[in-house]
Amino acid sequence: MFYLSESESPTRRAPKRASMWLAASVALCTTFAVAGIAATPAMAAGTANLTGIVLGVGPTETQRIVSWYSSADNVQFVQLAPSSAVVGDVYPSTATLFSASGAANTTTAAAGTFNRNASVKGLKENTTYSYRVGSVGNWSATYSFKTQSFDGDYDFLFLGDPQIGSSGNVAMDGAGWADTLKVATAANPNAELLVSGGDQVETANTEAQWDAFLAPDALRQVPYSATIGNHDVGGKAYEQHFTVPNASKTAALYSNGTPTSDTSGGDYWYMYKDVLFIDLNSNSYATTQGGGGDAAHLSYVTDVINAHGADAKYKVLVYHHSIYSAADHAKDGDNKVRRVDFPTTFSKLGVDLVLQGHDHSYTRSYEIKNGEKANDAEKPGQADVYPGPGGVLYVTANSSSGSKYYDITAPDSSGTSGAGNGADALNPASYWYNSVENQEHVRTYVKVQVKNDKLVVENLRSGTCAAPNAAVELAKVAWCGPDSGATAAKPVGTLVDAVTIHSNHVPATSTPTATPTATPTATPTATPTSTPTGTPTNTPLPAKTFAATTTPGLHVQGSTISATATGLAPNERFYVRMHSETVYTGTANAKGVGSARFSIAGDVTEGKQALLFVGSTTERTGATATYVVAKSKSLGLGLSRSSVAPGNAFTVTVKGLVPGEPLVLTYGGKRISVATAHASGSGSFAMKFTTPSTPRGTVSLDVRGLTATRAGHAAIAVSTR
């Protein structure tokens, strides 16, 4: 049985095969627990080379998404078990298999290979897990990761622009990247996330660069939250390597408005403990590019925060193009557009922190409200800030690999709000919006400590002027160290900058005169209450898994479907998600039954799609699934022979169906399939047919699936002698 998490990217349609097939398969009749359900998976013969494994974030702290490349297009899994039960490469009989989905890679450099991803669900807190990917008899090496408490404080690491290959030396860039991950995870062994600032590689579809980027084992041990940079967007390799939770890949969120083109795109979100993370494809910023521009992102952010913000203590946005940077890109026209478009909405929505990359230097903004400095008296480098409602702090990360650095540039006279790049009145050498600007030509990373009443943001050195530091080694920069090289480089692990963002509270001693609005009332206005929207009590309901069902059978795109969940609280608000979109909202009846009826969108990908009921909190869920059938599709019709004589038999094979799909197969216009013919669990159908005496010559074979526009055609030459 195939189990698809709501966070998992749908299977893409495989490329068309040649019309002549000689089908063969090998079934391995061993029973495993597949996502908690006993199943007997069928495996294709052959050995797959499994590469590029990366452990990604899931929709919540209880899930992960594992992605990888495979040289074979066979059924694959993630196998998972507590590490305490795994001995060497021997997994216990209780190990769980999570089914993978995927498609053929479309990039030239990855031609002949396939991408796979699987959602790992039901993780328990404070547990070390071992996992591997592949299939029975053909597993990858074993890797491990650990979960920690699902409540309370935690740390995550933010990593700017590795951009492997940008120095011109992939090996040097990869060494710097690997060393930063080694230094950062060794210094912070309990860090729970690695968050990307974008630009994983220099050239979007160059797999040698991706190989170097994905080489460090830290990417298989700590969940990675990927971000699309301008160097990643120009190809499909980014989407082939990463599967992200709750992804929205509508045309409006692609820079050219065409998700099927050789570009990557889309926005996504996830909730990790009490932080709502929203990740944007900032490459799309103007409608003149073809997509929905910044307006589409703002609509997405607004919808996500309206739906989930009440469950979060903090809201963190991540995207690539820094709008408050200080180096080569500070005055770029596209960044000026974003600098006007984004801040007011972010302030109104109560965003706490924005993490950015792109400018290969470190900056920390003042608290910004509605596109202006929120507090005129906030001092440069101030260690504690007390934002009132609407105050947002923006951080730009420097290079985490040392492949490229940009030097700080000087302000101009274009203004001190909105799109302006004017000087800071308190520090005229800096831009008006920045509290701290730093460039030392050494590798750094950002550590964020999430605490009950504050966020602590630190920028730490992960390298020195010594190797690995490609830009310095290759003389891409003229100096290295603080004060434009006048001071010797500081040791690895030392602080560049640190700031504590207090959650709308005054300091313990006295209220800063510069922040008159920071004195909290009985209930701080910017701190979400614990009562979920729509819940008729003042106490959050406990975590629970609902029983969910849906209308049986196959459902064509655009058709109406009904689904039901039982076990909700009376009158509990709920919503239903399908294909990473909210498709229905409603209220349970007095018996705790939630009923939904909605239309399946016309662009929902064909295949098994999860329907997720979510109650008053994201810990109250129920899942079911249905098979969605594309309204129109070209089915593959293959013949074991290209020519036959009357009385000879040949095999007809149909591919591209969905499991259980009924079909009608005709030969020369006459039906030859039985009335109950339907696709197998793999979406294929095969039958042996003996050629009748008539007709002769070129004879058509046609297949029709669930709808008249799901069809395929082939022809066979029948001897006339």
The whole-angstrom separation of Cα 364 and Cα 500 is: 12
Give the type of residue at 110.
Answer: A
Whether domain 544-629 has CATH 3.30.1520.10: the reply is no
Query: Which homologous superfamily does the CATH classification assign to the domain defined by 151-518?
Result: Metallo-dependent phosphatases (3.60.21.10)
Bridge pairing between strands 633-634 and 154-159: unpaired
420 pLDDT above the threshold of 60: yes
> Quick one: 316 exposed, middle or buried, by C-beta within 10 A (0-12, 13-18, 19+)?
buried
* Residue 618: predicted pLDDT: 67
Structure tokens at 627: 């098979």
Structure tokens at 66: 């594992």
| Count of alpha carbons within 13 angstroms of residue 22, beta-carbon side | 2
DSSP secondary structure letters along 487-509: SPPPPTT-EEEEEEEESS---SS
Cβ neighbour number for residue 516 with a 10 Å cutoff: 10
Structure tokens at 224: 């990675």
* Residue 504: predicted pLDDT: 57
The whole-angstrom separation of Cα 582 and Cα 301 is: 14
pLDDT confidence band for 428 (50 / 70 / 90) = very high
The whole-angstrom separation of Cα 406 and Cα 163 is: 13
DSSP secondary structure letters along 273-337: TTEEEEE--TT---GGGTS-HHHHHHHHHHHHHHHHGGG-SEEEEEEEE-SS--STTTT-HHHHH
* Residue 579: predicted pLDDT: 66
The whole-angstrom separation of Cα 684 and Cα 654 is: 5
515 pLDDT above the threshold of 70: no
* Residue 463: predicted pLDDT: 98
Name the CATH topology of 1-149. Answer: Immunoglobulin-like (2.60.40)
Least confident of 166-170, 172-176, 208-212, 587-591: 587-591
| Residue reference for tokens 């499909």 | 236
Least confident of 30-39, 70-79, 417-426, 553-562: 30-39
Taking residues 229-234, report their average pLDDT: 97
Taking residues 542-569, report their average pLDDT: 89
Q: Which helix (H) or strand (E) holds 158?
A: strand 154-159
Taking residues 114-136, report their average pLDDT: 97
- Asked, colleague to colleague, whether 544-629 and 633-718 share their fold, the answer is yes
The whole-angstrom separation of Cα 133 and Cα 67 is: 9
327 pLDDT above the threshold of 90: yes
* Residue 110: predicted pLDDT: 95
pLDDT confidence band for 539 (50 / 70 / 90) = low
361 pLDDT above the threshold of 50: yes
271 pLDDT above the threshold of 70: yes
Least confident of 425-434, 437-446, 527-536, 580-589: 527-536
Q: Which residue has the higher pLDDT, 3 or 238?
A: 238
The whole-angstrom separation of Cα 203 and Cα 183 is: 26
> Quick one: 585 exposed, middle or buried, by C-beta within 10 A (0-12, 13-18, 19+)?
middle
The whole-angstrom separation of Cα 218 and Cα 221 is: 5
Structure tokens at 11: 């299977």
For 48-84, write each residue's pLDDT tens digit: 999 999 999 999 999 999 999 999 999 999 999 999 9
Instruction: Name residue 356's beta-bridge partners.
Output: 396
Least confident of 53-67, 204-218, 453-467, 577-591: 577-591
* Residue 628: predicted pLDDT: 87
* Residue 283: predicted pLDDT: 97
For 447-485, write each residue's pLDDT tens digit: 999 999 999 999 999 999 999 999 999 999 999 999 999
Average pLDDT over the chain, rounded to an integer: 88
Give the type of residue at 524.
Answer: P
Those residues whose C-beta lies under 8 Å from the C-beta of residue 367, and which sit 6 or more positions away, are 373, 374, 375, 378, 385, 387, 391, 392, 393
Instruction: Name residue 78's beta-bridge partners.
Output: 98, 133
Taking residues 297-310, report their average pLDDT: 97
* Residue 511: predicted pLDDT: 33
* Residue 388: predicted pLDDT: 81
For 607-616, write each residue's pLDDT tens digit: 778 888 888 8
85 pLDDT above the threshold of 80: yes
The whole-angstrom separation of Cα 95 and Cα 28 is: 17
For domain 633-718, the CATH class is mainly beta
Least confident of 570-579, 590-599, 665-674: 570-579
Least confident of 99-113, 235-249, 411-425, 678-692: 678-692
Least confident of 31-40, 415-424, 502-511: 31-40
The whole-angstrom separation of Cα 56 and Cα 241 is: 10
The domain ranges of the chain are 1-149, 151-518, 544-629, 633-718
* Residue 1: predicted pLDDT: 27
The whole-angstrom separation of Cα 291 and Cα 256 is: 5
The whole-angstrom separation of Cα 375 and Cα 329 is: 25
* Residue 512: predicted pLDDT: 35
* Residue 296: predicted pLDDT: 97
Least confident of 7-21, 82-96, 207-221, 392-406: 7-21
pLDDT confidence band for 39 (50 / 70 / 90) = very low
28 pLDDT above the threshold of 80: no
Taking residues 99-113, report their average pLDDT: 95
Taking residues 166-191, report their average pLDDT: 98
| Count of alpha carbons within 13 angstroms of residue 516, beta-carbon side | 1
- Of 715, 388, 678, the C-alpha closest to 520 is 388
The whole-angstrom separation of Cα 465 and Cα 454 is: 33
pLDDT confidence band for 394 (50 / 70 / 90) = very high
| Helix, strand, coil abundance in the chain, percent, nearest 5 | 15, 35, 50
| Count of alpha carbons within 13 angstroms of residue 212, beta-carbon side | 24
163 pLDDT above the threshold of 60: yes
